[in-house]
Amino acid sequence: MAHIPYRIGVARFILTGTISLAAFAAGAAEMPKDFVYLRDVEPTIQQDMRYAGSKNFTGKPAPGYDAPECVLARPAAEALKAVQADLRTKGLALKVYDCYRPVRAVAAFVNWANGPDDPQSKAIYYPNIPKGALIPDYIAPRSGHSRGAAVDLTLVPLGGDAKDRPVSGPCTAPQGSEAPDGSLAMGTTFDCFDGKSGVIASNITAEQNANRIALDDAMEAHGFKDYFFEWWHFVLANEPYPDTVFDFPILPRQ
C-alpha cells in the first residue's frame, strides 16, 4: 500500500466545520451511549495512557483524565479491533497512548504551551525547537481527539510485556530495535515535538521507517488516516462526529 501522509482534513488539531454547541453541552457531563471503553471491545490492545499520569510533556495528569482508560466512539474502537486482528497474524499488536481527549484537557495543553518555558520538559519532548513554536502544528485550541475518533498509538511485539519505564533523555535519542517502552523503534518516542516525528523523515533508520510504514498500512487498511507531523496519530476517516467536540471526563470503568 502506498505510504501517503495525511496533510489535510481531520488532522489532530484541525476541526473542520462548525462546533455543535448543543452536542458539546450534552456531552459535557457524562459519556454518550455510543462511546465505549476500548478495553470492552478489544482487551488485548495494550494501553499506556500518558495523560492520565505524569509521564507527559506537562508533567502531570491532564484535566478530565480521571482514569487511565482509552475511550472512543464505537466505530473507531471496532476499527482498532480489526487492526489488532490483522497485526496478530504478523506477530504484532497495538499499544495506545491517547484516545478521546476532553476539551478541558486541550485547553490545559494550550495554556501550558503559552506559559513560561519548561526546561525539564524541553529536554525530553521538544529539545530542538522553542516552546512558542509548538503551536499550531503540535498543540492548538481544537483537537480531533475531542471528537472521539482519533488515537495515538504504536506497534509492539505480540505477547510482549508492557514496560513502564520513566521518560528520560531526549525523545529524538537514537533507538535500537525497540523504543524505551518496549514498543517497536519508530525513530522518536511518543509526543516528540520535532521534525524527526513526521510521517516522512529522512533522519531515521531503514528499520524505523519500515516500522512506521507497517503501522500506517495497518491503520489505513481499516479506515484510518495519518497526520503529517506525527507518526503516532491517526483519525478514522469516516468519523461519526466530524463537527462535534466533547468534554465529558474519562472515568473508571464500572
Sign of CA dihedral 100, 104, 107, 112: negative
DSSP 137: T
Residue (of 193, 106, 191) closest to 146 by Cα position: 106
Lookup result for grid cell 498500512: 217
CA distance 39 to 173: 32
Residue type at 235? Answer: V
CA distance 29 to 102: 11
Which helix (H) or strand (E) segment holds residue 230: the answer is: strand 230-236
CA distance 141 to 134: 12
Give catalytic status of residue 220 as yes or no.
no
Q: How many residues does the chain have?
A: 254
- The active-site residue, picked from 42, 69, 230, 239, is 230
Q: What are the residue numbers of the active site? A: 230
